[in-house]
Amino acid sequence: MLCNLVALVLTLAQPADLWPPRPDFQSKIDYDAWAQERVRGHDDPAENAADLYRQIFPRIDNLEAPCPDGLLFGGLRGSFTPPRPWDPAEHPEWEASYQRTRATLETFRAAVARPFYQFPRQENSDELPWLRGLLPSRLMPHIQPFRGCILGLSDAAWRAPAGQVEVAAFLDTCQTRLRAARQLEREPMIISMVAALDARYTVYEDLRYALHHNILTAAQRRQALELLEREDAPLPPFSHYLATECAAPLDLLQAMTQRGDDGQPEIIHKRYRELAERAMPISPFAERPELPTPAEIAGRDPRQTVRRLLEHYLKLAELIDKGYPRATREVVEMFEELAGRDDAFLRRFMPSVAQAHVLRTCCLAERNGARVVLALHLYHDEHGTWPTDLGQLPAERFRDFLTDPCSGRPLVYRLAESGPLLYTVGLNGRDDAGQPNLAWKAYWTEPPPGDGVFWPIPAQPLPEDQPTTQPATQPSSD
C-alpha cells in the first residue's frame, strides 16, 4: 500500500514527457526508443541532419573507419594558446589545417542549421549479450568529431589574412557553434551536454577576446549582441539530462529481472553479478565495491529498487536546481554517496553527475560574463563612459545575465581608473577581490583561490614565438 502511494506521488510530481516510464516487469519497455523519441520530438523526420553528418563522420556507420583528413584539426585551439588573430602567412601549419578542414566545416554548418540529428544505433561488440539493445549500451561515436569541428570553427574564426580578422566570418562561426550546441542539447545524455557546454564556452570566450583584441567596431558589437539574443538559447534544465540518466539503470534493472515461480519479479543472480564486475562506484572517491554476496541479491524486490531510483533522481534534480552555493560539487557528491550507502543497486550501477553539474555551472557563469562584458562595451559606445554599476545597463536586455551562478549573488563589478572589472567568485564562492585565477573552473580538486575574471582579460603566458597583444583600453568606434 505504501509503495503504491509513493508511486502515485511520484507520478504526479513528474511531467509525463520528461521522466521515463516505470517498469512493471510484465511487458518490456524499450527505453532506448523512449530516449530517441525525446530527441526527435515533433520535428519532421526529413529535418534530421544525419545524412549530412554521415558525409563527414564515417564512424557513425562504421566504428573501424579511419579518420578522414577533413577531421584532422590542428590549429590555434590545438596549441592551447589564448584566442588571437593569426596570419596564415606566419602560421603555415595552422593554414594547412584550415584548408584541409574547410569542406568539413561547410557541411557541418549546413548540418547544424537543421533542428536535430538522429543516428542508427551502434553498440560495443564486446558488451555482454544480454546488454545489447539497452540504453546504456548505445555508443556515441559522433561526440568526438563534433568537438573537433567546434574547435576547428574557433580556429577559423581567428584567421586574419594580412593581419585582419574577417568579422562576418567570425560571427558566422559563433552562430554555427551555438546551433551545434542546441542540437547536442536535444540529445538528453550527459556526454552530449558536456560537448554542448564546450561549444558554448568557445563562443563566449571568443567574443570576450574579440573585444580584448579590439577587432569589432561599434556596429559589429551590436551585431554580436543581436546574434546572442537570436541564437544563444538558455541552457536546458539539468533534469532534461537526469531523466535519461534515470532511464539507464531502470533499463538495466528490467533486463536483469525475471518472473519467479510465484509470479513475482526477481533478480537474475548471474546477470546482477556479471554487471557488478564491470560497474564503477558512483563516488569518485569511493573504493570499488566488492562483488555482490548472495545476501545482497536474495530477497531484493525490483519494484522497491524502482521506487528508490525514481525518488533519488527526483530529489537529485530538485537539489541541483537550487544551484550554487546550496548545491556545490561536494554537496551533490555526498548526496549521491549517501544514496549508494542505502542501496547496493544504486551504489553499483548509477553514474555520478556532480562533475557535469560543475561544468554546467561554470558555463552559465561564462554565458552571463560574456553577455555583460558585451553590454559594458555597448554602454561605452553610447555614452562615452563606462557604467558605474550594472544597474545602469538596460534591464530588459540584461537583467537575466547579472547573476553569478557560482554564488547566487550578482556578478562582481567595479569601475576603477583603469576601466571596468567584472568577475565571478568562482567555485570556491569567495570574493578574492578580483585576483584572477585562470583555473577557477577546476572541479577535480579543492576549488582554488582567486576569481574568474571576465574583464579585463587576465594576462596569460604565450609561447616565445607568439607576440603578446595588448588589451584595448577603449572600444573602437565605427
Which spans in 59-166 are helix H?
A: 92-112, 143-157
Instruction: Report CA-CA distances (Å) from 447 to 198, 320, 321, 408.
Output: 20, 18, 21, 17
Cis peptide before 325 (omega within 30 of 0): yes
pLDDT at position 223 over 60: yes
Total number of domains constituting the chain: 3
Average pLDDT over residues 71-84: 85
Alpha-carbon gap, residue 355 to 255, rounded angstroms: 28
In 181-290, beta strands by DSSP E: 257-259, 265-267
In a domain, 468, yes or no: no
In a domain, 4, yes or no: no
Query: In sequence order, what are the beta bridge partners of 415?
Result: 420
Alpha-carbon gap, residue 368 to 398, rounded angstroms: 9
pLDDT at position 468 over 80: no
DSSP 367-400: HHHHHHHHHHHHHHHHHSS--SSGGGS-HHHHGG
Asked which of 352, 367, 396 is the last residue of a domain, the reply is: 352
In a domain, 366, yes or no: no
In a domain, 282, yes or no: yes
Kindly state whether residues 383 and 405 are assigned to the same domain.
yes
| pLDDT tens digit sequence for 151-179 | 999 999 999 999 999 999 999 999 999 99
Q: Which helix (H) or strand (E) holds 415?
A: strand 412-416
Residue 437: domain span = 378-455
In a domain, 5, yes or no: no
Contacts of 351 (CB under 8 A, 6+ apart): 190, 245, 248, 280, 282
The residue whose grid cell reads 564512424 is 59
Strands 257-259 and 452-455: unpaired
Kindly state whether residues 175 and 208 are assigned to the same domain.
yes
pLDDT at position 465 over 70: no
In a domain, 362, yes or no: no
Comparing 244 with 444, the larger pLDDT belongs to: 244
Average pLDDT over residues 40-61: 95
Average pLDDT over residues 388-411: 96
In a domain, 148, yes or no: yes
Quick check: 454 and 372 in contact, CB under 8 A?
yes
Asked which of 352, 370, 404 is the last residue of a domain, the reply is: 352
% the chain with pLDDT above 70: 89
Amino acid 466: pLDDT: 44
Average pLDDT over residues 362-381: 98
Kindly state whether residues 56 and 183 are assigned to the same domain.
yes
* pLDDT-based confidence at residue 296 (cuts at 50, 70, 90): confident
* Size (the chain), residues: 478
In a domain, 74, yes or no: yes
The residue whose grid cell reads 596570419 is 87
Kindly state whether residues 61 and 165 are assigned to the same domain.
yes
| pTM, two decimal places | 0.91
Amino acid 287: pLDDT: 56
Nearest by Cα to 3 from 18, 24, 17: 24
Comparing 5 with 121, the larger pLDDT belongs to: 121
Kindly state whether residues 276 and 221 are assigned to the same domain.
no
Average pLDDT, the chain: 89
Amino acid 341: pLDDT: 82
Kindly state whether residues 133 and 272 are assigned to the same domain.
no
How many angstroms separate the most distant Cα atoms in the chain? 82
pLDDT at position 332 over 80: yes
Kindly state whether residues 229 and 256 are assigned to the same domain.
no
Kindly state whether residues 76 and 217 are assigned to the same domain.
yes
Kindly state whether residues 154 and 224 are assigned to the same domain.
yes
Average pLDDT over residues 415-430: 94
pLDDT at position 254 over 70: yes
* pLDDT-based confidence at residue 289 (cuts at 50, 70, 90): low
Kindly state whether residues 281 and 338 are assigned to the same domain.
yes
* pLDDT-based confidence at residue 288 (cuts at 50, 70, 90): low
Average pLDDT over residues 10-30: 75
What is the grid cell recorded at 299? 530477497
Quick check: 329 and 304 in contact, CB under 8 A?
no
Average pLDDT over residues 17-45: 92
Average pLDDT over residues 57-77: 92
Kindly state whether residues 61 and 167 are assigned to the same domain.
yes
Nearest by Cα to 190 from 381, 356, 439, 385: 356
Kindly state whether residues 133 and 273 are assigned to the same domain.
no
Asked which of 211, 235, 259 is the last residue of a domain, the reply is: 235
Average pLDDT over residues 325-353: 89
